[in-house]
Amino acid sequence: MRYRILGKSGLRVSEISLGTMTFGEDWGWGASKEDSRKQFDTFATAGGNFIDTADIYTNGTSEQYVGDFVRSDREHFVVATKYANAHPGMAPHHANSAGNHRKKMVESLNASLKRMKLDYIDLYWVHIWDGITPVEETMRALDDMIRAGKILYVGVSDWPAWTIARANAIAELRGWSEFIAMQIEYSLIERTPEQELIPLARATDIGVTTWSPLGAGALTGKYTRGDRAREGRIAQQEYQRLTDRVIRIAKVVDEVADELGVSSAQVALAWQLQTGEFIPIVGATKVSQIKDNLKATELTIPSELMDKLNEASRFELGFPQKFITNDFVANLRHAGLVDQIEPHRPDAGFTFSQR
Known catalytic residues?
57
Which residue blocks in 205-275 are alpha helix, DSSP H?
Answer: 228-238, 244-260, 264-273
Q: Render 140-203 in DSSP notation, one character per residue.
A: HHHHHHHHTTSEEEEEEES--HHHHHHHHHHHHHHTPPPEEEEEEE-BTTB-GGGTTHHHHHHH
Among 142, 157, 69, which residue's Cα sits nearest to residue 101?
Answer: 142
In contact, 343 and 325? CB cutoff 8 Å: yes
Spatial separation of the C-alpha atoms in residues 218 and 34, rounded to whole Å? 27
Phi/psi at 152 (nearest 5 deg)?
-105, -40
3-state secondary structure of 128: coil
In contact, 40 and 48? CB cutoff 8 Å: no
Spatial separation of the C-alpha atoms in residues 166 and 40, rounded to whole Å? 36
Number of CB atoms found within 10 A of residue 45's CB: 10
User: Kindly report the CA angle at 331 between 326 and 336, in degrees rounded to 5?
Assistant: 125
